[in-house]
Amino acid sequence: MFSFCTDPATLPDWQWFACYLTSGTHLAFYWSFGVVLLLIALAAPSALLFGFGGALAARSHVAPVRVLGKTYIAMVRGVPDIIFFLFVPIAIDQGLEYLMHHIRCPDWTQPVRRGAEFAVCAQAKVPLSNAPAWVHDIYSFGLALVAFALVFGAFAANTLYGAMRTVPRAQLETAEAYGMSRRQVVRRILLPQMWIYALPGLSNLWMILIKATPLLFLLGIRDIVYWARELGGSKTSIYAYPHGDWRLWYFLAVLVFYLLLTWVSERVFERLMRRLSRGQATAAGERLRRAAA
């Protein structure tokens, strides 16, 4: 990046580090922090959307819908997360390729499944083999996002379902007695009040989501854990910037990043909790009422 970064072996220490920390691989390392933040920013609302769908389905009066919602919650919560993080991207990827195979290669005579092997025609690859690298990166990120949304959506659904059941039944019955329809009761009475009960569980789920982002490494995405391991490992003289084992310092930087992220998250959830507690018949709401009196 700097004009003096010509021959690293001849540079003094501060210039050597300036060139080393602005190399192409380090820029990719810095970009990976943004990838993690982008995943969290997209996965959280996506999981909440799945959670709402699962919670409302679990409360449905229609038996098949209710069974579907409860099965989704129980199935995902009962299986180790890493299984779903590995299974969902593979299942979606092979499902898309299988569909594209039948669309683009109708004359293909060989079976797609050959024992344990899954083989489709070249035109059915998603994305195509000759696609730019950024297309493959976005596709892998999208698969990871769906996996995170499905897994954490089940946990969110369980939290929201419990919060909905915590809202006093008498209030819902009173609203029905005043002539509100079921949808009006849910929209005007149930949903506004359930947040105060759901927020503690959702805040914990947010923290778990942050801690789960290093699983991107298992999905083939070059995240901060990947780059910390690669850049921190010992580099011999065949590299432009040889150094010893610096993994401690790289993983320390990753540690600080996650600590700062969780610290900021805690402050935000504390303020949100205080705001939602106003006027609520809860211990937190009672403390706010007494403080204001």
Q: What is the pLDDT of residues 266-291, one digit of tens each?
A: 999 888 888 776 655 555 554 554 55
pLDDT at 259: 94
The DSSP-derived string for 21-58 is TTSHHHHHHHHHHHHHHHHHHHHHHHHHHHHHHHHHHH
pLDDT at 282: 53
Q: What is the pLDDT of residues 136-156, one digit of tens each?
A: 888 889 988 998 998 899 889
What is 8-292's CATH topology?
MetI-like fold (1.10.3720)
pLDDT at 34: 92
Q: Which residue has the higher pLDDT, 233 or 13?
A: 233
Q: Which residue has the higher pLDDT, 55 or 219?
A: 55
Q: What is the pLDDT of residues 21-49, one digit of tens each?
A: 888 888 889 999 999 999 999 999 999 99
In contact, 75 and 163? CB cutoff 8 Å: no
Q: What is the pLDDT of residues 74-90, one digit of tens each?
A: 877 777 878 888 888 88
CA–CA dist 172, 204 (Å, integer): 28
Which among 244, 241, 230 is positioned nearest to 13, based on CA atoms?
Answer: 241
pLDDT band at 107 (very low <50, low <70, confident <90, very high): confident
In contact, 10 and 4? CB cutoff 8 Å: no
pLDDT at 286: 47
In contact, 152 and 39? CB cutoff 8 Å: no
The stretch 47-60 carries a mean pLDDT of 89
| 171-193 CB burial, b ≥16 within 10 A, e <16 | ebeebeeeebeeeebbeebbbeb
pLDDT at 62: 87
Q: What is the pLDDT of residues 118-134, one digit of tens each?
A: 888 888 888 888 888 88
User: Which of 3-17, 201-215, 271-285 tops mean pLDDT?
Assistant: 201-215
pLDDT at 43: 93
Domain ranges of the chain: 8-292
Q: Report the percent of the chain where pLDDT is more than 90.
A: 16
CA–CA dist 212, 151 (Å, integer): 11
Residue carrying structure tokens 């920013």: 41
